[in-house]
Chains A and B, each alone.
Chain A
Amino acid sequence: MKLMNSRAAIFAVAGLAMTTSGAVAADTVKIGFVTTLTTPAAVIGKDMQDAANLAMAHIGGKMGGKKVDLIFEDDGFRPEGGKQKTDKLVKQDDVDFVTGFIWSHVLLASRKSVLDAGKFLISANAGPSPVAGKLCHKNFFSTSWQNDQTPMAMGEVLNQKGVKSLYIMAPNYAAGKNMVAGVKRTFKGKILGVDFTKWGKDAQLDFSAELAKAKASGAEGIWVFYPGKAGGAFIKQYQQAGLQGKIPLYTSFTVDAIALPKLQKANLSGVLGSENTQQWSPDMDNAANKKFVGDFKKKHGRYPSFYAAQAYDAIMLIKSAVDAVKGDTKNMDGMRAAMKSANYASVRGKYTYGNNHMPIQNFYLRKVVKDVDGNWTTKITKTVYTNHQDVYAKDCKM
């Protein structure tokens, strides 16, 4: 009897604690946003932060009639840092959604903290193969892509161009491996060499040895995946090594709105005319994208990157879910169903979700051009894939 009483007391206290935290959560919608705000990769995190804040301004800081509390956290470009901040968001801040995540290894380290706590996890960039396949989860959604898809589209483009042999370079981490697997899957020519280079806080940025190997290999093209500052560094060294005009460069996630202004400032004009694949481009002609790109440029004086576009979409996707349940964030099933329908105005245009909650969407070929003001940006030249689904969806039992 005594035992029963103390147990009942514990339950009562626990119940009370739950209702109080519930009461606090009830009048605001809390969203945690994990990205990189220090280290040189902070330039990507900043772009996402600016876009998420712009989305907040566009929705008047409200979802489903409730005030939204958007909390940014810095992963420091480290998986353990990202996990720590995610734990803090889930346990201490008791957020309803965790989003952001530039890096695949950070997302893989952090996903369990969010999903085990029964919260929604929305990746605004990273798309490692496990989360699309075996580790897929009902509370996980992506507003980006699965890593393999964009390079797969590039492999397709290379086939169409009649490129017979390729030299491949990518950073040595989860996404790098996925990207290489992607381009290898669709490219039908010969692969003359693959280099994985050191990545992370002390990433390798001098590619002299690898470029010399690529040149000696006699490949008809070089394909690379170097996000963030490594991309700019690579393109410069590619030019300095005299490969431009000899071995064409094809990239995925390397030439973007983060790299282009810097390359333009240093007048590395070799990048003009180069092509890459992506699910979005600033010149896409739809109302949501025009508003997003226009207001972003007005406010920050630069083009948003695809990272920014996906972060903007993440906030809009969450809003569509919270709106659908009229702010009742306890209604997980309702919010999940709403997100699954992708019923919001994405800046990339309409897309749908597959069984693994990864987007089924178009991929485009983009060319680097000068815009009317002389700024370097990307422009869609053709559609490579229509409604493309990732290859790992079949491994997802959901």
Chain B
Amino acid sequence: MDFSLFVVQLLNGLQLGILLFLLASGLTLTFGIMDFVNLAHGSFYMVGAFICATLTFATGSFIWGVLLAIPLVAVVGLATEWIVIRNLYPRDHLDHVLATFGLILVFDTLVQIVWGPAGIVVPLPAWLDGQVTLPGDIVFPTFRLMIICAGLLIAGGLYYLVNHTRLGMLIRAGASNRTMVGALGIDIKTLFSGVFALGAVLAGIAGMLISPITEASIGMGNEIIITAFVVIIIGGIGSMKGAFAAALLIGLIDTMGRSFLDDIFKIVMSSEAAETAAPAISAMLIYILMAVILAVRPQGLFPPKVR
């Protein structure tokens, strides 16, 4: 195993972690603050990708596509909260799960009606489509590096928002004691709408950023939302810091597992057996981690202070 491959895989893991964080942060906000289980969170990831894809072709620029798609995803998030989610807050978690599972089907079908079943390949501008050479002769795709930078900026912005603004104070207060925040005269409904839309936008951005790598396709959110749930369970439900740490941890573990597990297995077994066992085990790694965390520290790595 050479050093530059290891660094490239670290960066790949970081990039996957950043995407997971964008998804999981919204999930942990709605779950932690509003006590709302949103299985359809991945749908915003998909909707973001499709809107961005269409706008990229309309404007001829991926950057414009992203910038214009963000407010549109916010509108979709707000509309969903108004029409469906709002009515579900007083219900219990099982009702949330049922209703948002239904929402997944509605979103998937709507996307199929609007955009067709084929999915859209999103082109990148030439300056993003190449590679950069980092110190140590490490060649890395420019766009993936941009995802890391953009994700870190957004994470920094969220950190500032949650810890140093009045809105952030309300969000933290809401995570600690919802009823008390309402009793102090804060318009909890508006706060919830805002938080929900913020979560939708974060998920949407993740979808927009992944679409030039894979593509915008139906059900893409359902594939990744399970992992996002694992992230918030490991990180501690409701904790932004936890979501960040757990997302990076899972991104790294998943990537490293895919990268080096077969080489490690080949030390102790035949290469045929390693080829078969490695993908099975590496797909399980994050769930093994979750099981360990649940056993040792059921509240997660960084649970919110007061619950």
Listed in ascending order, the chain A residues whose CB lies under 8 Å from chain B are 39-40, 42-43, 46, 172, 194-198, 201-203, 205-206, 208-210, 212-213, 215-216, 229, 232-233, 236-237, 239-242, 258, 262-263, 265-268
Contact = CB atoms under 8 A, between A and B. Distances in A.
A241 B279 contact: no
Nearest to B4: A216
B16 A208 contact: yes
A202 B83 CA distance: 29
A292 B90 CA distance: 58
Nearest to B139: A242
Contacts of A262: 118-121, 215
Given A262-B121, A265-B121, 11 more contacts: A43-B117, A202-B224, A205-B223, A208-B255, A212-B259, A236-B213, A240-B143, A241-B131, A258-B118, A262-B120, A268-B123
Contacts of B255: 208-209
Contacts of A39: 218-219
B172 interface: no
Given A229-B119, A268-B123, A40 B217 contact: yes
Contact of A208 (B144, B275, B276): B144
Interface stretch (B5-13, B235-243, B297-305): B5-13
B121 A232 contact: yes
A42 B112 CA distance: 10
Contacts of B119: 40, 43, 229, 232, 262
Given A208-B255, A216-B5, A233 B283 contact: no
A212 B213 contact: no
Contacts of A213: 5, 259
Contacts of A242: 130-131, 139, 141
B59 to A, nearest CB: 15
B215 A196 contact: no
A264 to B, nearest CB: 9
A50 to B, nearest CB: 12
A240 B226 contact: no
A100 B5 CA distance: 43
Contacts of B122: 266
A202 B225 CA distance: 10
Interface of B: 2, 4-5, 8-9, 12-13, 15-16, 57, 112, 117-124, 129-131, 139, 141, 143-144, 210, 212-215, 217-220, 222-224, 226, 255, 258-259, 262, 275-276, 278-280, 283
Contacts of B275: 194, 196
A112 to B, nearest CB: 25
A212 B9 contact: yes
User: What 10 A-B pairs come out closest when comparing CB atoms?
Assistant: A266-B123, A42-B117, A242-B131, A208-B12, A266-B121, A40-B217, A205-B214, A202-B223, A216-B5, A233-B214
8 contacts: A195-B262, A196-B279, A202-B223, A212-B8, A232-B215, A236-B121, A241-B141, A262-B121
B42 to A, nearest CB: 11
Contacts of A268: 121, 123
A305 B128 CA distance: 31
A358 B124 CA distance: 43
Contacts of B280: 172
Find the residue from B13, B144, B213, B258 having the highest chain A CB count within 10 A: B258
A196 B219 CA distance: 22
A262 B57 CA distance: 12
Contacts of B214: 205-206, 229, 233, 236
A216 B1 CA distance: 9
A293 B271 CA distance: 44
A201 to B, nearest CB: 7
A263 B121 contact: yes
Nearest to A40: B217
B267 to A, nearest CB: 15
A178 to B, nearest CB: 14
Contacts of A46: 117
Contacts of A43: 117-119
A195 B141 contact: no
Contacts of B8: 212, 216
Nearest to B5: A216
A229 B217 contact: yes
A213 to B, nearest CB: 6
A326 B126 CA distance: 61
Nearest to A200: B223
Contacts of B123: 265-268
B66 to A, nearest CB: 16
Nearest to B123: A266
Contact of B5 (A198, A212, A233): A212
A50 B129 CA distance: 35
Contacts of B210: 206
Given A209-B255, A212-B9, A236 B120 contact: no
Nearest to B118: A43
A105 B222 CA distance: 22
B130 A209 contact: no
